[in-house]
């Protein structure tokens, strides 16, 4: 059995309905929308409002009878942006549409952010007779934007303060370093320090008494001004105790003093060596092992000394070693910023690579050795940032 076809329903367009029906529907649509809608009469003096919908009344708190016959500038107030007001005025004067975001005032004095869209309405001859205004409450969005701007501004201020602190720490760190290297008849010395983006507190120093050299290299825990502070204290203490004969006694004295100063969770790794002619006494408090290249054997050995960083356990018994050094022998002292360089794959540079490279270059002048080590470490890092200060000191026996 053939199914009976249902004739298509004829859609009656709004324009085909009676004019009274069209007007009632349009009025209901305008009245029911959430946005505020106003129509002003451009042909009357001061462009007064001649229509507002219920959405406008809800948004502003003004009743219809409060606003009809008035210019809409009553929504403006003390904090309304004059430049935005001028933009609206200019658009109306030029009979052009415009959309702005403006701070307006409700009847009760409270403010709201209004996304105001103004459109000219023209008659058949093209003359502007009215302006249609659509107001949308965007207060929540603007408040979120303002909070974001404030947070960004605070973050930028914090960032600038951090940059200043880091720069202050960098200047303080560099001020702690000796201006000139010692000149000794039996020793050639070269030094290089590369500071990390965040200052790590590396430190080296010399005290020379005739041909007796007291040498120190250190690395503070932490970064920034805190590290710079403990380095400053360490330098003062080194200057005070460097005349003591035994390096381990110097370390003990400094450690006790740092502890008494009350640095919280701040410590100083440090190595001290006393060198006179062809003899060296060395002691270490948590620094990487020193490498000694023997020219006669063409080998590199570790001077292995362990010890707790200064300021941690003031009663710790540090060790020292007496080393004979001969003509052509070379010493490499370095901070862990060198060994702990990372490449983009997250691999560490490591002590074994340093030792191997030092063995290959130890016959060269101290400055050339440092250049080779620094260049290789920099190439290893690639585009990775240096995470900690990198300090190298090379001494060659003449």
Nearest-angstrom CA–CA distance, 304 and 286:
11
**200 has a pLDDT exceeding 80:** no
For residues 297-304, give the mean pLDDT.
Answer: 96
Nearest-angstrom CA–CA distance, 289 and 107:
78
Nearest-angstrom CA–CA distance, 220 and 228:
8
For residues 81-87, give the mean pLDDT.
Answer: 96
**Lowest-pLDDT choice from 4-8, 97-101, 142-146, 382-386:** 4-8
Nearest-angstrom CA–CA distance, 156 and 164:
12
3 state SS of 2: coil
**18 has a pLDDT exceeding 70:** no
**Lowest-pLDDT choice from 65-69, 105-109, 157-161:** 157-161
Q: Are 392 and 370 in contact (CB under 8 A)?
A: yes
**4 has a pLDDT exceeding 60:** no
3 state SS of 211: coil
Nearest-angstrom CA–CA distance, 185 and 294:
20
**What residues does 219 pair with on adjacent strands?**
202, 269
Q: Are 376 and 357 in contact (CB under 8 A)?
A: yes
Q: Which of the four pLDDT bands, split at 50, 70 and 90, describes residue 367?
A: very high
**Lowest-pLDDT choice from 198-202, 288-292, 325-329, 344-348:** 198-202
**What residues does 395 pair with on adjacent strands?**
189, 331
**Lowest-pLDDT choice from 25-34, 265-274, 287-296, 368-377:** 25-34
The per-residue DSSP string of 67-92 comes to HTTS-GGGG--TTS-HHHHHHHHHHH
Q: Are 392 and 367 in contact (CB under 8 A)?
A: no
Q: Which of the four pLDDT bands, split at 50, 70 and 90, describes residue 153?
A: confident
Element (H, E) at 322: strand 320-324
First-to-last C-alpha distance (Å) of the chain: 117
pLDDT score recorded for residue 20: 57
Q: Are 121 and 87 in contact (CB under 8 A)?
A: no
Q: Which of the four pLDDT bands, split at 50, 70 and 90, describes residue 23?
A: low
pLDDT score recorded for residue 55: 92
Element (H, E) at 301: strand 299-303
**12 has a pLDDT exceeding 70:** no
**313 has a pLDDT exceeding 80:** yes
State the Cα torsion 138-141-147-153 to the nearest 10°. -90
Nearest-angstrom CA–CA distance, 104 and 45:
23
DSSP state of 34: S
For residues 143-168, give the mean pLDDT.
Answer: 80
Nearest C-alpha neighbor of 288 from the set 355, 227, 241: 355
Average pLDDT of the chain, as a whole number:
89
> What tens digit of pLDDT does each residue of 204-259 get?
999 999 999 999 999 998 766 777 788 889 999 999 999 999 999 999 999 999 99
**351 has a pLDDT exceeding 80:** yes
Locate tokens 């270490």: which residue?
A: 284
Q: Are 204 and 391 in contact (CB under 8 A)?
A: yes
Locate tokens 């105790």: which residue?
A: 241
For residues 279-295, give the mean pLDDT.
Answer: 97
**Lowest-pLDDT choice from 6-20, 158-172, 292-306, 319-333:** 6-20
Element (H, E) at 284: strand 279-285
Nearest-angstrom CA–CA distance, 358 and 374:
11
pLDDT score recorded for residue 6: 55
The two tokens of residue 233 are: 């204290």
pLDDT score recorded for residue 154: 85
Q: Are 314 and 255 in contact (CB under 8 A)?
A: yes
Nearest-angstrom CA–CA distance, 196 and 338:
11
Nearest-angstrom CA–CA distance, 276 and 112:
80
**49 has a pLDDT exceeding 80:** yes
Q: Are 36 and 53 in contact (CB under 8 A)?
A: yes
Q: Which domains does the chain have, with CATH numbers?
A: 21-137 (3.30.450.20), 163-397 (3.60.40.10)
pLDDT score recorded for residue 388: 85
Answer with the residue of higher pLDDT: 44 or 165. 44
pLDDT score recorded for residue 8: 63
How many C-beta neighbours within 10 Å does residue 352 have?
Answer: 9
> What tens digit of pLDDT does each residue of 72-81 get?
999 999 999 9
Nearest C-alpha neighbor of 325 from the set 369, 295, 304: 295
For residues 185-204, give the mean pLDDT.
Answer: 85
């Amino acid at each position: 059995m053939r199914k009976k076809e249902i004739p298509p329903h004829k859609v009656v367009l709004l324009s085909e309905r009676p004019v009274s029906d069209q007007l009632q529907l349009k009025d209901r649509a305008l009245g029911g929308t959430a946005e505020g809608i106003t129509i002003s009469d451009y042909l009357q003096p001061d462009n007064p409002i001649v229509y507002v919908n219920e959405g406008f009344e809800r948004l502003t708190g003004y009743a219809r009878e409060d606003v009809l016959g008035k210019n809409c500038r009553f929504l403006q107030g003390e904090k309304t942006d004059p430049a935005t007001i001028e933009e609206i005025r200019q658009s109306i004067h030029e009979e052009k549409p415009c959309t702005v975001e403006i701070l307006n005032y409700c009847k009760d004095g409270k403010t709201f952010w209004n996304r105001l869209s103004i459109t000219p309405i023209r008659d058949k001859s093209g003359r502007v007779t009215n302006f249609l205004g659509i107001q949308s409450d965007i207060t929540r969005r603007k408040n979120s934007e303002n909070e974001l701007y404030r947070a960004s501004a605070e973050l930028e201020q914090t960032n600038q303060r951090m940059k200043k602190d880091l720069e202050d720490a960098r200047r303080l760190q560099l001020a702690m370093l000796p201006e000139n290297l010692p000149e000794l008849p039996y020793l050639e010395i070269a030094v290089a320090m590369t500071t990390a983006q965040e200052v790590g507190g590396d430190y080296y120093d010399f005290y020379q008494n005739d041909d007796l050299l007291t040498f120190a290299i250190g690395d503070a825990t932490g970064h920034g001004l805190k590290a710079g502070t403990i380095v400053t204290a360490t330098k003062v203490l080194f200057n005070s105790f460097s005349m003591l004969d035994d390096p381990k006694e110097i370390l003990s004295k400094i450690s006790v003093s740092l502890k008494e100063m009350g640095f919280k969770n701040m410590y100083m790794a440090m190595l001290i060596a006393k060198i006179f002619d062809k003899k060296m006494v060395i002691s270490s408090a948590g620094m990487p092992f020193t490498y000694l290249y023997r020219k006669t054997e063409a080998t590199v050995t570790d001077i292995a000394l362990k010890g707790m960083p200064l300021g941690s356990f003031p009663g710790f018994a540090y060790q020292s070693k007496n080393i004979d050094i001969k003509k052509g022998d070379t010493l490499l002292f370095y901070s862990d910023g060198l060994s702990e360089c990372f490449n983009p794959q997250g691999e560490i540079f490591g002590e074994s690579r340093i030792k191997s490279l030092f063995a290959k270059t130890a016959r060269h002048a101290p400055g050339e050795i440092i250049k080779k080590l620094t260049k290789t470490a920099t190439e290893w890092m690639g585009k990775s940032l240096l995470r900690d200060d990198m300090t190298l000191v090379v001494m060659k026996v003449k």
